[in-house]
Amino acid sequence: MSEQSLAAVVEETETQIALASLKSEGVYDDSRHIAAFEDGTVSIPITEPPQQTAVLEVVEQRGEQRLQTLADHLRKRGWNESEIDDAPGSWAVIGSVILVDLADVPRPGEVGKALLAMHGHADTVLAREGISGQHREPSVDVVAGVGDTETVHREHGTTYALDLAEVMFSPGNKAERAHMGEVVTDGERVLDMFAGIGYFTLPMARGGAQVTAVEHNPTSFQYLVENVVNNGVQAAVETYRADCRDVVARGVEKANSQFVFERVVMGYYDAYEYLDSGLTALESGGTVHMHAATPEAAIPDRPVDRLHTAAKRTDRQVEDYALREIKGYSEGVSHVVVDAVVA
């Protein structure tokens, strides 16, 4: 059997679990594509037989070799080069769901089917149409597959259950989620003011921090609680469904020493509007992480000036800071984070 063409066969329902295990073993071959078959099985390309992952069998790569690019798939469907030029250049696979921007794309249903052919473990393709409202609720449209928008996504050892039609998930923040799990120290007290489904709370708790997680959106909060349990960090996370400003105010009113934190995370693009509460909850010498969507021409001045202004307003002082650009937010606008030590 040629090791270059080996594949592990698993039940389709076990694809995500098997894929995560094969990656952990270091035997997943990401140079080839996963293939799905009519008998309800999936073949996952591997470099050598797995020793720790339960599979049905190890075989030579079954069936037709999967096409390597979306353009290849679309050509096979009869698309001309002009149409292919309008096809999406990127997309995100979140658990069993493919999330893609399809604005002005011809025949989006065919693009969806092509993406499913490329990602055999996925079963639904969603067209991303924007985020709106105080709770940053997504607008999506099912363009291919079974239409199941609820999924489980795994990255860097953290598990996120979510419904992509109900709550937002930013694939571009993957490195930042991992980063927050690495910067915390064991036992560190952290306030996550906009916890969502646990984007930063979960990796920080898994990294040893004691996290107070606040989320106002009831649907996101439901998934937050579920994800805390699924990741086994119940002892490290205290959850509140409330406005984060109210939670801080109640802590101050009760002179609760537990509401003075060594680190405050503000993972919301308009976080500057909540800086007074965030700095009130931060102990002297603590660190605040303020996210912002900022025009490139206003970097670094606008977010940094907003932090200094809030510090002065709350009788605090910014001792040191660093600004990091996370990703593009929109044309001419970047997602940035200001990491600041505040006295």
- The mean per-residue pLDDT over the stretch 208-234 comes to 97
**Cα–Cα distance between 145 and 97 in angstroms, integer?**
9
Distance separating the N- and C-terminal Cα atoms of the chain = 64
How much is the pLDDT for 1? Answer: 42
Under CATH, what is the fold of the domain 70-148? GMP Synthetase; Chain A, domain 3 (3.30.300)
How much is the pLDDT for 258? Answer: 65
Please determine, for residue 274, whether its predicted confidence score (pLDDT) is greater than 90.
yes
Higher pLDDT, 268 or 131: 268
**What are the residue boundaries of the structural domains of the chain, listed by start?**
3-60, 70-148, 170-342
* pLDDT confidence band for 131 (50 / 70 / 90): low
Please determine, for residue 60, whether its predicted confidence score (pLDDT) is greater than 80.
no
How much is the pLDDT for 91? Answer: 92
Residue 131: alpha-carbon gap to chain centroid: 15
**Cα–Cα distance between 119 and 324 in angstroms, integer?**
32
Q: Name the range with the highest mean pLDDT among 6-20, 96-110, 227-241.
A: 227-241
Beta strand segments in the chain, E = 6-11, 35-36, 41-45, 57-60, 92-94, 97-100, 124-132, 137-145, 150-155, 158-163, 189-192, 210-215, 237-241, 261-266, 282-295, 318-330, 333-342
* pLDDT confidence band for 210 (50 / 70 / 90): very high
Higher pLDDT, 176 or 41: 176
Pairing of β 210-215 and β 282-295: unpaired
Under CATH, what is the fold of the domain 170-342? Rossmann fold (3.40.50)
**Cα–Cα distance between 279 and 275 in angstroms, integer?**
6
**Cα–Cα distance between 269 and 337 in angstroms, integer?**
9
**Cα–Cα distance between 42 and 62 in angstroms, integer?**
9
CATH classification for the domain delimited by 3-60, as one of 1.10.3470, 3.90.1150, 3.40.50, 3.30.70: 3.30.70
117-127: pLDDT as tens digits: 888 789 999 99
- DSSP state letters, 288-316: EEEEEEEEGGGTTHHHHHHHHHHHHHTT-
Q: φ and ψ at 229, to 5 degrees?
A: -70, -45
66-86: pLDDT as tens digits: 556 899 889 989 999 999 999
For all residues of the chain together, what is the average pLDDT?
90
- Is residue 202 within 8 A of residue 155, CB to CB? The reply is no
Please determine, for residue 64, whether its predicted confidence score (pLDDT) is greater than 60.
no
How much is the pLDDT for 126? Answer: 95
- Is residue 67 within 8 A of residue 91, CB to CB? The reply is no
Lookup result for tokens 């035997």? 27
**Cα–Cα distance between 140 and 125 in angstroms, integer?**
10
How much is the pLDDT for 38? Answer: 63
Please determine, for residue 225, whether its predicted confidence score (pLDDT) is greater than 70.
yes
* pLDDT confidence band for 34 (50 / 70 / 90): confident
Work out the number of other CB atoms within 10 angstroms of the CB of residue 31: 9
Predicted TM-score (pTM) of the model is 0.79
Work out the number of other CB atoms within 10 angstroms of the CB of residue 277: 24
Nearby residues of 153 by Cβ (< 8 Å), 6 or more positions away: 94, 95, 159, 160, 162, 169
287-319: pLDDT as tens digits: 999 999 999 999 999 999 999 999 999 999 999
- Is residue 175 within 8 A of residue 256, CB to CB? The reply is no
Higher pLDDT, 33 or 158: 158
Position 225, amino acid: V
Lookup result for tokens 């003075």? 260
Please determine, for residue 62, whether its predicted confidence score (pLDDT) is greater than 60.
no
How much is the pLDDT for 124? Answer: 95
Listed range (62-66, 95-99, 102-106, 137-141) with the worst mean pLDDT: 62-66
